[in-house]
Structure formats: C-alpha cells, structure tokens
Amino acid sequence: PTTFHPEWDFHDLQRASFSFSFSFLFPKPPANVLEGDSMDQDVESPVAIHQPKLPKQARDDLPRHVSRDRTKRKIQRYVRKDGKCNVHHGNVRETYRYLTDIFTTLVDLKWRFNLLIFVMVYTVTWLFFGMIWWLIAYIRGDMDHIEDPSWTPCVTNLNGFVSAFLFSIETETTIGYGYRVITDKCPEGIVLLLIQSVLGSIVNAFMVGCMFVKISQPKKRAETLVFSTHAVISMRDGKLCLMFRVGDLRNSHIVEASIRAKLIKSKQTSEGEFIPLNQTDINVGYYTGDDRLFLVSPLIISHEINQQSPFWEISKAQLPKEELEIVVILEGMVEATGMTCQARSSYITSEILWGYRFTPVLTLEDGFYEVDYNSFHETYETSTPSLSAKELAELASRAELPLSWSVSSKLNQHAELETEEEEKNPEQQTARNGDVANLENESKV
C-alpha cells in the first residue's frame, strides 16, 4: 500500500492512485500467478506516466492536504490574447476529409509549407513532362539521329534529358525561345503538347489562386483591431456594469462592425452532468442595437449586470475565486477589400478589475478629434460597491420598504386610537348622535 504524504501535489496523488508494473524495471511474473498478486508487488515507478485526465467533479473528491501555494494554479486560456484559439485537435482518424477540401487545406498551411508546395508542384510537373518528352524522343530514335540532317525529329534540337526538361518548362510557361520546336511529323508529341498546356493552365490557376487568397486573407487586418488589456467593473447610470474597450488603428474603417461576448465556464447540471467550457452569451446591447458599432474612434463596450447576466451573484470578493474566461469577438467587413474580418481576445479573472474605469482617450482639437492611444489601456480607480448586483438590488428594495411600513403603521395606529376613544366615551357619542337626529328633524319641519 502507498502511504500518503501531505506535501504531494495532484500528480503525485494520481501516480499513487494508479500504479503500474514495467517489464524493463521488474521481472515478469509467472503465468500461473494471478494479476492481483502481481499488483501487490508493484512499487511507484520514477518514470513519468501520462494518466487519463479526470473530470473536475472527480478531482474535487481527492484529498485536499496540499500546500496553499500549490492551490493557486494558473487558469488555462480557451482563447489567447492575440485571438488564437488554444485548442488542439487530436486523434482525428478521418484525415481524408482534409484532402476533400484541398484548397482550404493549402490556404490554412503556414507560409513556409505553402511556398514549399508551390515550388514542388511546378518542379514535379516540369520534370514529369520533361521525362515524357525524353521518352518520346528516345523511343522514336531521335537520339541516334542527332547529327543527321535528313531525319525529322519530334522536337528539334532535343539531344538529352536536360534539353527535354528545358522544353517542358518552355511549353508549360509559354516562353517559346524558338530554339526547340515541335514538328508536324510527331502526332504523339502534338497530343502531349495539348495535355501539358491544359494541365499547366490548371496548375497555374490552382496555385496562383491559393497564393492570392492567402495573401489577401483578412487575418492581418485583425492585427490593427485592438482590445483593452483589462476589463473593468464599475457603476454606470446607477447600475453595475462590465466594460472593455475596442479600437481600430487604421483610417480605413470596418464596415458593419458588430461585437459579441461569450462566457467560458465549466458547469455541472442538476442531474450531475459535468459540462467543460460551457459557453454562455453575454448581452452587450443585442436588444438595443448597441452591439452594432460605428468604429471610427475607440468605444467602451458595456454589459449591464442584471438578473439575466451570468455575473448577477458575483461580488468583488468572489470574483478572484471564479474560474471563468470572457471571450470577445469583433466582426465586420474590410472597407478596402469587402472581405469579412474577425478579431478575438479574452479576459480571465485576473484581468477583470473591480472598481475601475477607462481613461478617456478622445480630445477635441482645432477642427478635429484626436485619439491618444497611449492611454488606450489605462484605467483609474473609482468608487464602486464591492457587493454583487443581486445584493445591491436587495439593498435597494429594502431601502424602499421602511417608508411603506411607516405609512401603514401610522394609519393602523391612528385607526386604533379612534377605536379606543369611541369605547371610552360612549355617552358623548350617543349625545352627538341625538343632536344630529334633532337637527335632521328640524330641517324636515
């Protein structure tokens, strides 16, 4: 049995929970020995073992006798600050699907691989057709009659593989230097010339198209769309709001720009199902139209924390304990090319500042507005309650209740006093009633 040490971390607990025997470290047990007997002889191996990852609810059940400094683990990002998704696809067995869409596969490749494929495709086609031209000349016997002026070759001045390779390049690229020319006495050469011309045009269209699409991709346009390094939470118009800032560094604007945000947080359903990296929409003005931006100058995007917000019950003290990530997505069309562009960024809990606001960056100059991007990421502290939006709403409702209670209590007390006075002075009340009756009789007379 393995003894538990308080200084072990999570991986030590996993290795202690899952023990394995290795044939290169321990002798192989006899065949008649049961597996349970061999497991009793196992000891912990110093070799690093990649164990299967446990779900979060299973990890929570493990002993928590670890040191406090190890409990602070870094939150793994789902989307990096530069917008790249931190997700790797593994164990993809249906790799043939990448070849069915070979054009997109080539466009998505890195530049070094794309250029290598570009050079290799042209080189292979030139070599392939050059080999065929050389075979035609060799089979027809043109190599044996190079110096014979009465012999009509398939291709004039073709005396070896190198010259056949050069002729293949001239044919596919339509250079035509005029030194090597196909003759009309070679029908197989004429057919090969037609095939190479057609296939060469297809290769040119395919490869040049890939290069053009890759060059004109709007990914680099997203480099000039910037997000603030921090998100802030503060009061705006008497309501607690989550805010971040976006800006465009270019003078050519993004047409029909729109912004949306997602909350990435693992959750467990009431049935016990664990959903890792669950995505929840964060309303940044979808119903009011504030999510459609006119991004000429930097804008502050605001999310009101109300009952529909996932931050409804999160306070300042609880925020650092949450394991969440806010992914913001800015989309629009590039004005110069008309292609759709998307820029992404994310904020984890350590990048959300409670009780701060963004420093203004727009100033009015003589005849124009100037944007100071040196202050784009700057924030300043402001007076903000540390309670959650739910607690603030409860306090606001309680602040209104004493007023209604005081009015009702005063009315009730006044009614009770009148009842007590009527019970104490019944004779005076009867006299009053008699006087009123006499007055009514006199008026009738």
Apex 194 CA angle, 189 and 196, nearest 5:
90
Of residues 261 and 108, more confidently modeled: 261
pLDDT digits (tens, 9 = 90+) for 390-432: 999 999 888 765 543 443 444 355 455 556 655 655 555 444 4
Q: Averaged over 78-106, what is the pLDDT?
A: 84
Least confident piece of the model among 44-48, 124-128, 195-199: 44-48
CA dihedral 312, 313, 319, 325 (to 10 degrees): -50
4 has pLDDT over 50: no
Percent of the chain scored above 90 by pLDDT?
A: 45
**CB under 8 Å to 330, separation ≥6 — which residues?**
225, 227, 246, 254, 257, 258, 259, 293, 342, 343, 344
Query: Closest Cα partner for 129 from 50, 210, 181, 191?
Result: 191
Six-digit token string for 155: 């291709």
For the chain, domains (ranges, CATH) are 99-216 (1.10.287.70), 221-393 (2.60.40.1400)
The 10 Å CB-count burial string (b at 16+, else e) for 91-123 is eeeeeeeeeeeeeeebbeeeeeebeeeeeeebe
Q: What is the mean pLDDT of the chain?
A: 78
Tell me the pLDDT tens digit for each residue of 332-358: 998 877 888 999 999 999 999 999 999
SS3 291: coil
Q: How many CB atoms lie within 10 A of CB 188?
A: 13
Strands 231-236 and 352-354, sheet pairing? parallel
Contact call for residues 259 and 330 (beta carbons, < 8 A): yes
Query: What is residue 411's three-state secondary structure?
Result: helix
According to the per-residue pLDDT averaged within each range, which of 151-155, 182-186, 229-233, 265-269 is highest?
229-233
Give the pLDDT mean for 355-371. 92
What is residue 416's predicted lDDT score, i.e. its pLDDT? 59
Mapped onto helix, strand or coil, the DSSP state of residue 111 is helix
